[in-house]
Amino acid sequence: MPITGLDLAEEIRALKKERRAVVLAHNYQVKEIQEIADFVGDSLGLSYQAAKTDADVIAFCGVHFMGETAKILNPGKRVVLPDLDAGCSLSESCPADELAAHLEARRDKNYYVVAYINCSAGVKALSDVICTSGNAVRIVEAVPKDRHILFVPDQNLGAWVTEQTGRQMDLWKGNCYVHVEFTRNAIERVKFEWPDAVVVAHPECTYAVRILADEVCSTEKMISYCRDSSADTFIIVTESGMLHRLRREIPGKTFIPGPTDHCACADCRFMKMNTLEKLHSALLHLEPEIVIPEAVRARAELPIRRMLELSA
Ligand code: 13P
Ligand code: SF4
CB 106 within 8 A of CB 96: no
Q: Which DSSP string corresponds to 16-35?
A: HHHHTEEEEEETTS-HHHHH
Give the dihedral sign, CA 246/248/254/258. positive
Ligand 1 touching residue 156 (CB < 6 A): no
Q: In angstroms, what is the C-alpha Rg of the chain?
A: 19
Helix or strand (DSSP H, E) at 116: strand 112-116
Average pLDDT, integer, range 75-82: 97
Of 270, 218, 258, nearest to 83 by C-alpha is 270
Each residue of 99-133: pLDDT tens digit? 999 999 999 999 999 999 999 999 999 999 999 99
Do 28 and 271 touch, CB atoms closer than 8 A?
Answer: yes
Closest protein CA for atom 5 of ligand 2: 268
Distance 175 CA to ligand 1 centre (A): 12
pLDDT (tens digit per residue) in 156-208: 999 999 999 999 999 999 999 999 999 999 999 999 999 999 999 999 999 99
What confidence tens digit (pLDDT) does each residue in 215-230 have?
999 999 999 999 999 9
Ligand closest to CA 63: 2
